[in-house]
Amino acid sequence: MNFRPIIEGYKDEIIHKLQELVRIKSVNEEAVGDYPFGEGPYKALEYALDLGEKLGYKTENVDNYAGHIEMGHGDDIIGILAHLDVVPEGEGWTYPPYEGSIDNNRIYGRGTSDDKGPVIAALYAMKTIEASGLDIKKRIRLILGTSEETSPEDMRYYLSKKESPTMAFSPDANFPVIRGEMGILEIILTKQWDKVSTEKCRIKNVIGGNAANMVPDLCTSIIEANEISKKKVIEVIDEIRTRKGISVETEEIQDGIKIISKGISAHGGKPEEGINAISQMLMVLEMLDAGTTQVKEFINTYNEKIGMTYNGQKIGCGFEDDISGKLKLNIGVINLDEDSLNIRLNVRYPITIDSKIVIDNMREELGKCGIDLFVKNHLKPIYMDEDHFLVQKLMKAYKKVTGDYEAEPLVISGGTYARAMKNAVAFGINFPGEKETEHLSDEYIDIDNLLKCTEIFAEALYELIND
């Protein structure tokens, strides 16, 4: 089938609907009333379901955790698993993060590539299948979650209430097909400080980051200091900035100094592509020799065991395998004050490694300075043989549309809804060799790529419903 002419007819509608969806700020928040992940994700879900209904499809909202848009008939269900929540916008945007601005044939905004653009592409792929006049002998169900960026609870809840698709793909990663995903641990580190503070130059707080799975691009610290200490702090930081070439600034405030560490944001699964503002800040604070004895001990331990590294090699977790490569470790959020420490970090561990050894090794190393560790979320790795029916069908669709007949299935450090059920893989939407902008400032999707994704998804659905 040649679906491209049909998709071109929907081009303006696809662009406009994505812009409208991006304008809904759907960052996860605390539960409010009937909204388990805050009002923003709920509004995005309602928008998408309303759009699906207007396009003529059956829709259902499952207690505001998730919902679906369905077409076709039959016992088998081909699922498309996507999400409507987004990570916080962070700093450094040129374009408004919740506007859907168009420039240079790109739509800019948080969620354009992760995962609102794919949602719209999948929905209009369904519309394309319908418009082609094909006899749809299976059901196609676009399942929409609302907490993928922070918790697996949305899809767990949905699948506990509704039948699981026969097979599914999640348009939330890369092309071609993702047949394997590394294990993911979200870990919390905590410590309570003793109530002693006699230092002349002490740390009032260290605050940075927005989410465990984002490389933080900003971290600030307030140092309490007298006029003599202020001058010394500024001199030391000026020297550090010159000698180390790092982006750190100072601002004099009443009774102290505010230190501002600026990094470069990146996806937590690819920490090597960013610069971690938290790690940069703690390196500076160690050189200042500020803080109580316990705080200094923590800072020294952090820099010794983690620092600016991101493969866990200093903390006893430098694992790797031939299937998925090296472990990835990202420090995403820090809240340190005069009472306590709280850090949220994200670990992507190789497919063949047992998560227990990762956790035990980290706990042993950090326990030496009294830091407590507990696992908030754990997503086990997944792996599918490249000869699997689903992998083969999706690869066929991708190769037909792109002409990339040399493409091979991938294994990634990212995490998608493919873990939520059996017979599921990630499929799209980033094309090989092109910049990936999810979780970055100025996130965007190229309009031509958005239409190409829609065509690939339509081709994939055609392959799966006509088997």
Quote helix, strand, coil % in the chain, to nearest 5.
Answer: 35, 30, 35
Catalytic entry in 85, 114, 455, 463: 85
Q: Which long-range contacts (CB under 8 A, 24 or more apart) does 59-64 make?
A: 60/162, 62/157, 62/158, 62/161, 62/162, 63/34, 63/36, 63/157, 63/161, 64/34, 64/35, 64/36, 64/37, 64/146
Active site residue 39: no
d(CA 359, CA 329): 12
**Nearest 5°: CA angle at 416, between 415 and 417?**
140
C-alpha closest to that of 342 among 151, 188, 186: 188
Catalytic entry in 148, 186, 217, 365: 148
Active site residue 85: yes
Cβ pair 218, 262 in contact under 8 A: yes
d(CA 193, CA 203): 12
What are 170's strand-pairing partners?
426
How far CA 54 is from CA of 73, 140, 240, in Å, comes to 19, 17, 59
- Report CA Rg, the chain: 24
How far CA 359 is from CA of 173, 372, 414, 425, in Å, comes to 26, 12, 19, 27
Q: How many CB atoms lie within 10 A of CB 160?
A: 10
Could you say which DSSP state residue 158 is in?
Answer: H
How far CA 225 is from CA of 199, 213, 230, 252, 338, in Å, comes to 9, 34, 6, 10, 15
Active site residues: 85, 148
